[in-house]
Structure 1
Amino acid sequence: MTTPAAPKTLRYALILGSLSAFAPLSIDMYLPALPRMAGDLHSSDTTLQLTLTAFIVGLAVGQLVLGPISDAVGRRRPLLAGLAVYAVSSVLCAVSPSVEVLIVARLVQALGAAAGIVIARAIVRDLYSGTAMTKFFSMLMLVSGLAPILAPVLGGQILRLTSWRGVFVVLTVFGALLLLATVLALPEPLPPERRSPNRLGATLRTYAGLLGDRSFFGYALAGGLMFAGLFAYVSASSFVLQGVYGLSPQEFSLVFGGNGVGIVLAGQLNGRLVGRFPERALLAAGLTTSAVGGIGVLVAAVFSLPLPALLVPLVLLVASIGMVMPNASSLALAEHPRSAGAASALLGVLQFVIGGLATPLVGIGGENSAIPMGVVMASFAVAALVVFVTMTRPVRVPSPAVSEATSGRS
């Protein structure tokens, strides 16, 4: 088995990374528009929040359903169907005449987005194994790592040019372009002989087996807890850095963007270190760095330390995601090649369910203190390290290679 040529690897990275970015783009880009949407749709803020709830529910259900389906029928057909559903439902979001229609459209949009997220991870497992898989997950951070950080900024810039409906027009174009790219440049990676039966009983047994695999669940849970820390940062950092520390919108954008670059750089550093050091060691280093950063953020918040004392540990915590997520995903999927779709689904569901819990938690203490953000981020970071230490074990990782499914493909 041979490693693919660089242009082919880059092509896969761009497409699969963009598929992985569906959720943060679809969630975070429209958040700055919520106040305007409430007025335009004559809706209360509480009712409008159901558009976010519907999307999270759709992501969870869609991944749980589509992951096993892709194990049974191959990756391309459910992926293409999901991308088409995403593009059409994004149009419906853009033209929604009422909040009720928007809620339904967002639910359908999430089902389409779920196909991209869950199948992208499964395709990586189809194509790569061992350290090659971890390196490729690290490469994906070039695209997917920036999405949750830059999406709110991009949404805010779109709102300067058009209404909230323009955000969904941009998402429509994004979905349509990815559909075209998938049709033209992403061949089927899962041959028929490697597919699994698509029966409800078999699917339920697969999920039960994965949840009963202490190590798989440990790696997945550690990644989910880290993702929750990122959710807490995205939802609270603007209030903390602007409201508490007095940064201007432009200064906040620089800090926000700088942390996004930190995720990408950490991901690329991880890609260079994989093969020289075991994935478990790199994951342990990333989780330890995150825990140290989280504790530092909490200390800075509790004692009202100057801004640099907050920013340094904040950078450590946020950037460490670029090292944690590739290794956690690779180690979780390593021993489940025949159920990569189902395993990918559980990874995604844990990330967004736990991440969804982080958003309301940071708001409990109000918007005039950095302590709630520090408590939530530190708690999730430390919990992720504890889960890793107590629940996971080394996995049997194959030698660096690309699966035979990719041999000879262009």
Structure 2
Amino acid sequence: MTHTVLRPRSADGADASARPRRSVALLVLVLGTLTATGPLATDLYLPAFPQIAADLGASEARIQLTLTAVMVGMAVGQMVIGPMSDAWGRRRPLLIGVAVFTVASFLCVLVPSAGVFVVLRFVQGVAGAAGAVISRAVVRDLFDGDAAARFFSRLMLVVGLAPMLGPILGGQLLLLGPWQLSFAVLGVVSAVSFVVVLVGLPESLPAHRRSPQSPSVLLATVGRLLRDPRFIGPTLTLALSFAMMFTYISAFSFVSQNEFGASAQQFSVMFAVNTVGMILGTQVNAALIGRVGTSRRLLAGLAGALAAVAAMAVLGVAGLAGLVSLTAVFFVMMFSVGLVFPNATTLAISSQPASVAGTASALVGSLQFALGGGLAATAGLTATGEASLASMTVVMLSTGVVAALVFVGVALRGHARSAA
């Protein structure tokens, strides 16, 4: 197994191996702030789900739909914003997206009904897609191979703080005021992100490297990406693994509080502990770069996640599931996806030229959030309309198994044929 050495590029394509560590750290911080906005938008209000359902007079399944709306919005937004950034550069679409996200966040404070809430969350998703898709494209502009994997692992360290701190902050905000306070805080964070981008993120795609695409050319590019096993294999692996994780994110607030009697604050602490697992996984991944191949690191993550979900199934069937045992299981699962996410992203994005990095990044994100949001929502399709530990387990185990099969059957074979 060969490895690409750490060799970052400057914006004009020249070698930038001598880039100061301080500038790399600043780039991690800026891109991490942008990428973390999406997870914060989903996790900050999770402890308030039961309260929101009661306040808006809606079912739990309807409130879970607000999470699905964000995922669908991010899927749609990335397919628009990604190609746009290939044609216009990275900064302009990013600033517009962050500005719209800020406005939508403050409007969520005023929602009169669950239906309006769902619509605004969709808008948030579309606008929030700018941070996710353009951050990945910027990394592709500047880094290759193992250098990209190392940077993505550093990025996940920053991004991981959002899902770790989000529910804790959300639970504490419920002690200070109603659930709407979470969206006011989210609006302030987004406004700060706008300033950070404006001041701290230079353009990484100069005009001579941009590739304006007509609709027909864009469709042809997307078609080629979908037919390329080196791209679509890791992308589907990432999307299905995200569906496994997002099922836990979207359903466990209800399950822990309604089925196991946890308080909003207890749920937020458990969620934070599990997120530490993901952060540790990404940093172990960074430490293994150069020693263990990218595909092997990814396979290890898939195996660990499947083992954790299988253990959850055994606990549920045996009637031994509790808050402590489930926290331990989810910790292992989150550690494992910390190995899956950066490596799957690296394999997919690095398989394509930088000229279509925005479009490739958009397709990665769109499939991730469309499949992740859509499949996770099926956990709530029970007779009562409420997610349960059993329904969570079925969805998570199914998506984890298919993710492993796709990676072995499509991605590995595609890379083997390419190497041959």
CA gap of 1:305–1:342, structure 2 versus 1, over 3 A, is same
Normalised to the residue count of structure 2, the TM-score between the two structures is: 0.85
Going from structure 1 to structure 2, the CA distance change for 1:340 and 1:98 (only over 3 Å counts) comes to: same
Structure 2 CA distance for partners of 1:388 and 1:52, relative to 1, 3 Å: closer
Which residue number corresponds to residue 392 of structure 2?
Answer: 373
Q: Does residue 169 of structure 1 match 2:184?
A: yes
- Select between 90-99 and 155-164 the one with higher mean Cα deviation: 90-99
Cα 1:320–1:304 change in 2 (3 A) is same
Return the letter of the residue paired with 2:315: A
Say whether the 8 Å CA contact 1:297–1:378 is kept in structure 2.
no
Change in 2 beyond 3 A, CA 1:183/1:378: same
Alpha-carbon spacing, 1:158–1:252, altered in 2? closer, same or farther (3 Å): closer
Partner of 1:194: 209
Unaligned segments of structure 1, at least 5 residues: 397-410
Structure 1 vs Structure 2: percent identity of aligned residues? 45
Select 1:352's aligned residue among 364, 369, 373: 369
Residues 379, 391 of structure 2: 8 Å contact kept: yes
- State the match for 2:402 in structure 1: 383
Any residues of structure 2 matched to 1:46-125 within 5 Å, and which?
51-96=66-111, 101-125=116-140
CA positional deviation for 1:148: 3.6
Query: SS of the residue aligned with 2:191?
Result: helix
Could you list the per-position Cα deviations for residues 177-199 of structure 1 after superposition, in whole angstroms to 9, with x for gaps in the alignment? 11111111110011222211231
Query: Once the two structures are superposed, what CA deviation does each residue of 1:341-364 show, in whole Å capped at 9, x if it has no partner?
Result: 111111111221222134333334
d(CA) in 1 for partners of 2:312 and 2:369?
23
In the superposition, relative to structure 1, how do residues 299 and 33 fare at CA in structure 2: closer, same or farther (>3 Å)?
closer
How far is 1:128 from its partner?
A: 0.8
Q: How has the CA–CA distance of structure 1 residues 220 and 249 changed in structure 2, closer, same or farther, with 3 Å as cutoff? A: same
What displacement does 1:176 show? 0.8
- What is the CA–CA distance in structure 2 between the aligned matches of 1:312 and 1:99, rounded to whole Å? 34
Secondary structure at the aligned position of 1:187 is classed as: coil
Q: What amino acid is the match of 2:200?
A: A
Instruction: Answer whether contact 1:235 1:359 (CA < 8 A) is retained.
Output: yes
Contact 2:89 2:210 in 1 (8 A): yes
Distance in 2 between the 1:149 and 1:179 partners? Answer: 22
Checking the alignment, whether the CA contact within 8 Å between 2:67 and 2:373 is kept in structure 1 is: no
Name the CA distance, whole Å, in 2 between partners of 1:33 and 1:312: 23
Say if 2:343 is the partner of 1:324. Answer: no
**Structure 1 residue 262 displacement after superposition:** 0.9
Deviation per residue, 1:316-344 (Å, 9 max, x gap): 21211111100000000012122111111
Q: Secondary structure at the match of 1:277?
A: coil
Structure 1 residues 264-320: Cα deviation after superposition (integer angstroms, max 9, x where no partner): 011011111112221111111111111222222212222223656655443221211
2: CA distance, partners of 1:314 / 1:91: 32
Quick one: distance in 1 between partners of 2:43 and 2:326? Answer: 24
Say if 2:247 and 2:376, in contact at 8 Å, map to a contact too.
yes
Aligned to 1:262: 277
Pick aligned residue for 1:184 from 199, 206, 209:
199
C-alpha change, 1:15 and 1:374, in structure 2 (3 Å) is: same
- Stretch moving more, 327-336 or 104-113: 104-113
Distance 1:222 1:105, change over 3 A: same
305, 310, 314: which is aligned to 1:295?
310
Contact 2:64 2:377 in 1 (8 A): no
Match of 1:141 among 146, 152, 156: 156
> What SS does the corresponding residue of 1:85 show, helix, strand or coil?
helix
Deviation at 1:8, TM superposition (A): 1.6
Structure 2 CA distance for partners of 1:46 and 1:207, relative to 1, 3 Å: same
1:218 aligns with 2:261: no
For 1:74 and 1:88, the matched residues in 2 are separated by 23
1:277 maps onto 2:292 in alignment: yes
SS at match of 2:120: helix
2-side partners of 1:248 and 1:97: how far apart? 26
Structure 1 residues 244 and 84, CA gap change in structure 2 (3 angstroms): closer
Q: Quickly say closer, same or farther: Cα 1:180–1:360, change in 2 above 3 A.
A: same
Whether the 8 Å contact between 1:294 and 1:382 is mirrored in structure 2 is no
Question: In structure 1, what is the Cα distance between the partners aligned to 2:118 and 2:408?
Answer: 41
Contact 1:41 1:98 in 2 (8 A): yes
Q: Once the 2 structures are TM-superposed, how far is the Cα of residue 235 of structure 1 from its aligned partner? A: 2.7
Task: Name the stretch that deviates more: 48-57 or 227-236.
Answer: 48-57
Equivalent in the alignment of 2:3: none
